[in-house]
Amino acid sequence: MRIGVVTFPGSLDDRDAQRAIRIAGAEPVALWHGEHDLRGVDAIVLPGGFSYGDYLRAGAIASLSPIMAEVIDAANSGMPVLGICNGFQMLTEAHLLEGGLIRNDHGSFICRDQQLRVENTDTVWTSGFTAGQEITIPLKNGEGGFIASAETLAELEGEGRVVVRYVGLNPNGSLNDIAGISNARGNVVGLMPHPEHAVEAGFGPDTASAMRSGTDGLTFFTSAIERMLATA
């Protein structure tokens, strides 16, 4: 099982995503934004960071990178694609996911361990969770406010495509507390919080049992791996 992680100029969490994939039991494959080559991977992660310095709009220039032509084709033919933070912004700019991300309503960058509720466990990336499961993974962004038209919002809610929702505090003004969504098919998921930063005890968020012991993010990666193995 090979999962590609695309590095763009300004990507920050590409190495973390590769590490998460390795810990989850698959082989991470480094992909480069400037190439038209997915190197035969089975799934793709678009990592967090500040591609192109967030110039134009967050994720906008990256969404027009050479490799995105292949990513869009692969996503449309069913390949699992996960966009984390800046990767989520790219997926909206590439029109693989609806809505958009705007500057946090309070105007500040926010970095915290964020509680989420997993509301859709049918997607490739969340099938290992139980419906309604509450998890904690890091969140760190300046432009994480999810917005969409009233019609799009009703469609996302009606079709159960809100994958994860903020619990407790809404950290950025996202409509309906939306932290992540999926496409209709469930193979493309984007979320602002960072599952790849909560995959190994000792390096994750604090939990009730021990400091930095949180590994709730790992299930995003193991879900995709198990789903792909089951359908291989």
Partner 1 sequence: MPTIVVEVMPKAELLDPQGKAVAGVLGRLGKSRFTSVRLGKRFELTIDGPVDEAVLAEVRELADSVLSNAVIEDVVGIHVVGADSTVGASA
Rounded to whole angstroms, the Cα distance separating 156 from 151 reads: 9
Binding window for partner 1 (CB under 8 A); candidates: 6-14, 69-77, 96-104, 183-191: 96-104
User: Is position 85 annotated as part of the catalytic site?
Assistant: yes
Told to check if 106 binds partner 1 by CB under 8 A, we report yes
Told to check if 56 binds partner 1 by CB under 8 A, we report yes
User: Is position 197 annotated as part of the catalytic site?
Assistant: no
CA distances from 107 to 92, 104, 140, 171, 214 (A): 21, 5, 13, 11, 28
Nearer to partner 1, 4 or 83 (CB): 83
Rounded to whole angstroms, the Cα distance separating 204 from 201 reads: 6
Nearer to partner 1, 2 or 57 (CB): 57
Task: Please select the residue that binds partner 1; options are 42, 70, 93, 113, rule is CB under 8 A.
Answer: 93
Rounded to whole angstroms, the Cα distance separating 107 from 120 reads: 30
Nearer to partner 1, 56 or 131 (CB): 56
Q: Helix (H) and strand (E) counts for the chain?
A: 5, 11
In the complex, least distance from residue 142 CB atom to partner 1, rounded to whole angstroms: 10
Task: Please select the residue that binds partner 1; options are 100, 195, 205, 214, rule is CB under 8 A.
Answer: 100
User: Is position 36 annotated as part of the catalytic site?
Assistant: no
CA dihedral (93, 96, 98, 102) in degrees, to 10, reads -30
Longest dimension (CA), the chain: 46
Residues designated catalytic: 85, 194, 196
Residues found near partner 1 in the complex (CB under 8 A): 56-57, 60, 64, 92-93, 98-100, 102-107, 145, 147-149, 173
